[in-house]
Amino acid sequence: MFAGSTIVEALDLHNGTLVFRSKRDFAVGAHTSFKVAVPSKGSKLTSVDVEVASKRSGPGGTIYTAHVLNEAARLDFHVEDASLREAERARTWIRVMSRNLPQYRAIAVDVSATGAQLETDGPVDEGRTVDLRLDLDNYTIDHIACSAEVMWCRPALQSDRFRVGVRFAGNTPEVSRQLKQLSDSLDERAHADLHSLLDKANLMPPAITAPIAVESPASGPPENPLLLPLRAALRGYRRGLPNGSLRLTLMGDDGASQELEFVECHCFFDASPPGRGRIVAMRSSRSSPLLTSMEATHGHHTWKHYQLLDENNQSLVEIVAVSCRAGAL
Amino acid sequence: MNALQIEIAKSLFRLAWADGQIEQREVDLIDGLLTKIGMPLAERLAFMDEGLSVPYQGLPNLDAVLPDRESRLFVLEQLIAISFSGGHSHPKEMELLANLSTHWGVSADELAAMRQKERA
């Protein structure tokens, strides 16, 4: 039986599936009819016949998904509704691994303290609990392992992938704190200007809270002229805890990747152009203009100034750390 | 990095530092030798960084990791190559080589043959 005069709040309509919100109670499996305001039609009211497929409680009413049974199924729209989010979400790109997801992987494109939007290789059942591992390169911790409940799933626009909304659930207070911290950090990145972010990324070890005033790498080479032959390509780097180390991934001439760890890294500057990170030598010294500048601010330390050089003896990477050692990949 | 690689690396630095300084040609040679004995890139860099920072004064425990004569002759050959890499050997380096040769029972003829091989 259709209730033709009812008006509901339509949130999303794609591929004939409508997501709507209402304070009225509709039973799953029930056929009903109502009017929705379609944004692409100047919010003109359109009649929609549906079969209710699922329901869950949400802010401002119950959230339903339904199969559209009339010609309105051809419509396609999405309404941004901030109230559906319990916390502001930050746009991001985080690799997610999970045995519960298609191909065991996803990309988190949207993260808040309470949930995330994932892009997956296939559909995921709504209501399912999934264990996620968020891999966090260049963050204060390597990863966050958490549980979440799948709230919705729909095909992604202009791709053959899927978008999946999850709500973090069943996590320990510590994990919840980590998720909140991650969300805050992503939000800060989203709103900070690029220069301050780069400054932070380059200069801030986890253990230091005040910015370090350093001169540019062009301030002069270390006094020790000895070069350690290297012959490798720089493949990436990441922060390591708990010692605040920086880990460079190098690929040697034999094609094998190895990790070189700089312990208690206090300064990092990467000037290598993308795709041209060919390093031929490493130079290190306990005395350089850069170290002098840093020690003027922070007092005497047992730091060393490392430089990774290209074939023209130009410095591609500058690092100030206590020491370096082989890391474990 | 195994014990053999570590002790060989230590002996290379001990010899290189014998005259109180270390030069780029010695660094290049040590790098080549450590590569030759199979020390991985990251470990090589870390070990060399440490070895170049402070003059290495310790005595490498070569006897423990080089039980046979053949391996000892191989290492001695590498040490001679480093010592003569600049065309001549420093007296301190010669002293260290002589002591090691005597300790391992390497004859003067064998040393001469190694020197000849290094020159070639």
Residues in A touching B48 (Cβ below 8 Å): 228
pLDDT over 50 at A195, yes or no: no
pLDDT of residue A41: 59
How many angstroms separate the CA atoms of A8 and A45, rounded? 10
Confidence of residue A147 (pLDDT cuts 50, 70, 90): very high
Residue type, A134: L
> Is the CB of residue A224 less than 8 Å away from at least one CB of chain B?
yes
Report the gap between the CA of A291 and the closest CA in chain B (Å): 16
Least confident of A70-74, A182-186, B5-9, B52-56: B52-56
pLDDT of residue A218: 38
The structure tokens listed for B96 are 């260290």
pLDDT over 90 at A129, yes or no: yes
pLDDT of residue A139: 60
Tally of residues, chain B: 120
Residues in A touching B27 (Cβ below 8 Å): 226-229
Contact: B41, A252; criterion CB under 8 Å: yes
pLDDT (tens digit per residue) in A254-274: 788 889 998 888 887 777 766
A positions 238-257 inside 8 Å of B (CB) = 250, 252, 256
How many angstroms separate the CA atoms of A48 and B118, rounded? 91
Least confident of A55-64, A115-124, A258-267, B30-39: A55-64
pLDDT of residue A213: 32
> Is the CB of residue B52 less than 8 Å away from at least one CB of chain A?
yes
Chain B interface, best mutation among A224, A226, A259, A285, by max B CB count within 10 A: A226
Q: What is the mean pLDDT of residues A103-130?
A: 87
Closest residue in B to A308 (Cα) is B45
How many angstroms separate the CA atoms of A157 and A166, rounded? 18
Contact: A324, B31; criterion CB under 8 Å: no
> Is the CB of residue B49 less than 8 Å away from at least one CB of chain A?
yes
CB A259 within 8 A of CB A250: yes
> Is the CB of residue B95 less than 8 Å away from at least one CB of chain A?
no
CB B95 within 8 A of CB B31: no
Confidence of residue A87 (pLDDT cuts 50, 70, 90): very low
Closest residue in B to A248 (Cα) is B42
> Is the CB of residue A286 less than 8 Å away from at least one CB of chain B?
yes
Confidence of residue A203 (pLDDT cuts 50, 70, 90): very low
Q: How many CB atoms lie within 10 A of CB A301?
A: 14
Q: What is the mean pLDDT of residues A43-69?
A: 77
Confidence of residue A156 (pLDDT cuts 50, 70, 90): confident
Residues in B touching A230 (Cβ below 8 Å): 41, 45
Report the gap between the CA of B118 and the closest CA in chain A (Å): 22
pLDDT (tens digit per residue) in A275-322: 556 889 999 888 888 888 777 777 777 888 899 988 888 888 888 888
* Cβ-proximal residues to B84 (8 Å cutoff; 6+ apart), any chain: B115, B118, B119
Contact: A258, B49; criterion CB under 8 Å: no
Q: Mean pLDDT over all residues of chain A?
A: 75
pLDDT of residue A128: 92
pLDDT over 80 at A216, yes or no: no
Contact: A226, B28; criterion CB under 8 Å: no
Q: What is the mean pLDDT of residues A70-94?
A: 63
Closest CA to A89 of A110, A108, A109, A75: A110
Residue ranges in chain B modelled with pLDDT below 50: none
The dihedral formed by the CA atoms of B99, B102, B104 and B105, expressed in degrees to the nearest 10 = 170
Confidence of residue A172 (pLDDT cuts 50, 70, 90): very high
Report the gap between the CA of A235 and the closest CA in chain B (Å): 14
Report the gap between the CA of B101 and the closest CA in chain A (Å): 29
pLDDT of residue B75: 83
Contact: A226, B45; criterion CB under 8 Å: no
pLDDT of residue B22: 82
Q: What is the mean pLDDT of residues A135-148?
A: 78
* Cβ-proximal residues to A129 (8 Å cutoff; 6+ apart), any chain: A100, A147, A148, A149, A150, A169, A170
Query: pTM here?
Result: 0.47
Confidence of residue A202 (pLDDT cuts 50, 70, 90): very low
pLDDT of residue A171: 93
How many angstroms separate the CA atoms of A227 and A224, rounded? 8
